[in-house]
A and B are shown apart, each in its own frame.
Chain A
Amino acid sequence: MSGFKRDKKEEEDGGGNPFQNIEKTIVLQEARIFNETSVNPRKCTPILTKLLYMLNQGEQLSAKEATDVFFAMTKLFQSKDVILRRLVYLGIKELSSIADDVIIVTSSLTKDMTGKEDLYRAAAIRALCSITDATMLQAIERYMKQAIVDRNPAVSSAALVSSLHMTKIAPEVVKRWVNEAQEAVNSDNIMVQFHALGLLYHIRKSDRLAVTKLVARLTRTMSSKSPYAVCMLIRIAAKLIEEEGADSNSPYFDYIEACFRHKSEMVVYEAAYAVVNLNRTTNRELAQAISVLQLFCGSPKPTLRFAAVRTLNQVAISHPAAVTACNLDLENLITDSNRSIATLAITTLLKTGAESSVDR
């Protein structure tokens, strides 16, 4: 029995932790196995995992160390093992900013991104864009456009998200993909819709007319299946209201108000948040948003209560009178088991509360 106990203790102390006490020099040495002519995935996968773990722990590599291990890693492209290949993509992304000559893997990644294996394609696109610069982007432009409108949602999303990252270094190139993004925004997939909308807005945001058209079309047609896309649309609509100084008869207002009845709490909250933060919100609209937030104050979910009270706290700064309706709910939250919620409730009450509530 005592022997068993000792074993157990040793186990807990890291006997079972393959990543205890790993050292940079040893891992880099082990990584030389990648250079062997025939790749053994069963040996290479744990070593590559160890390397990625080490980088994730914040270990810094010199440019030379990173370049050496990067080049060794490129040899693993010979293997067809799915997990190993995917880990190589992760490694490429991790090392792309430290190692030199990373563009060496461009052709391997382009091959994977246009190949048949769906499990490779999406991840390969994201890895490829991490090593690509503005001039090289033009070389792969054709593939990126194809990928954006691909039928596989993972591929399409990966291409859209990568395009958005690429706008930081090559905005002019990505601008040319607006038609593809336009097509992707009509996708049935909720994430593709969200990513396409994000990219479209980013490309067009300086062109007011284009944004107005986009919002007008999407508020009518976009299925409400994707809560993320709807949240995004609410943000765009709110921005338009603010910029145009639109009054409460504007269709954007109608859209945001309609979102109060959306079945996703995420969307309802986003709509309420937008309304209370608009400069031109009228009392009627404010009252509606506040009653939504008031409802959330009684939710069993701490995150929802937190979100509601945080927003009420903000409203209380500009419109303390509007929040007094919630005082009773806020008083209940003072004893909330989550201290952040309790604190926010107290500070809100200090702004809105009358003497009667202070006594209690």
Chain B
Amino acid sequence: MEGSLLEPILYSVKAIAILDSDGNRILAKYYDKNVFPTPKEQRTFEKNLFNKTHRANAEIIMLDGLTCVYKSNVDLFFYVMGSSNENELILMSVLNCLYDSVSQILRKNVEKRAVLESLDIVMLAMDEICDGGIIIDADSSSVVSRVALRNDDIPIGEQTVAQVFQSAKEQLKWSLLK
């Protein structure tokens, strides 16, 4: 591993991924065309990364020449990858932003099911955090304010029976908790 001065460029993130508890991709973005150019190579890398990280809660690992920082919760694994010479703390700040944004979007309910239910918003948030490898924003509250959370007040006529049930159940739950 040869040390060298870092080139002053803005492109610092090579990839971002969210995997489930089987190591399958929920969302992933690769920003550098030279790093795992085909979907197949990406899958192999993700499987490998997952196998190395899903038991050890160690936060950082070097794999295939990339520095990967990660974080997990219930059945989700969040990863941010950068070159092996990149400032690890910058990558960590991106990971924290990703995690906190998702957590705010899902109202602290960070699990696979909730991510899939709000997948559109989570995709928008990922897009607000990093563009083509450049960190756009690393402050989760500003990211969340930019993705325009859906408002829940769907007119009653357009709700499905399930939605009506759900909101009634929640109201009942809250009234019992009081």
Contact = CB atoms under 8 A, between A and B. Distances in A.
A274 B5 CA distance: 6
A86 B124 contact: yes
Interface residues of B, number: 53
A339 B56 contact: yes
Interface string B1-45: 111111111100000000000000101110000000001101100
A39 B137 CA distance: 32
Contact of A236 (B8, B112, B123): B8
In which size bucket is the chain A interface?
A: 35 or more
A276 B88 contact: no
A339 B29 CA distance: 27
A277 B28 contact: no
B76 interface: no
Given A158-B136, A302-B60, A87 B124 contact: yes
B124 A269 contact: no
Contacts of B87: 231, 266, 269-270, 273, 307
A8 interface: no
A242 B61 CA distance: 30
B7 A235 contact: yes
A187 interface: no
A343 B10 CA distance: 30
B108 interface: no
Contacts of A236: 8
Contacts of A228: 90, 135, 138
Nearest to A53: B119
Contacts of A287: none
B153 interface: no
B90 A266 contact: yes
A201 interface: yes
Interface in A186-202: 191, 194-195, 198-199, 201-202
Contact of B121 (A83, A122, A314): A83
Contact of B3 (A83, A303, A304, A314): A314
A83 B131 contact: no
Nearest to A120: B148
Interface in A283-310: 301-304, 306-307, 310
A162 B158 CA distance: 39
B95 to A, nearest CB: 9
Contacts of A17: 112-113, 116
Nearest to B28: A56
A198 B10 contact: yes
Interface in A151-177: 154, 157-158, 161-162, 164-165
A51 B147 CA distance: 19
A276 B4 CA distance: 9
Interface in B122-137: 123-124, 127, 131-132, 134-137
B123 A202 contact: no
A265 B89 CA distance: 8
A58 interface: yes
Contact of A303 (B25, B89, B127): B89
B173 interface: no
A84 to B, nearest CB: 9
Contacts of B61: 338, 340
Residue in B2, B6, B43, B123 whose Cβ sees the most chain A Cβ within 10 Å: B6
A191 B136 contact: yes
Interface string A312-350: 011101000000000000000000011111000000000
30 contacts: A56-B25, A56-B27, A58-B42, A58-B43, A87-B123, A123-B127, A157-B136, A158-B136, A161-B132, A161-B136, A165-B132, A191-B136, A198-B10, A198-B134, A228-B90, A236-B8, A239-B7, A239-B8, A242-B5, A266-B87, A266-B90, A269-B89, A277-B4, A303-B69, A310-B1, A337-B56, A338-B58, A338-B59, A338-B61, A340-B58
Ranked 6 nearest A-B pairs via Cβ: A58-B39, A314-B3, A198-B10, A235-B8, A338-B58, A266-B89
Given A119-B146, A195-B134, 7 more contacts: A161-B132, A191-B135, A238-B5, A269-B89, A303-B89, A314-B1, A338-B59
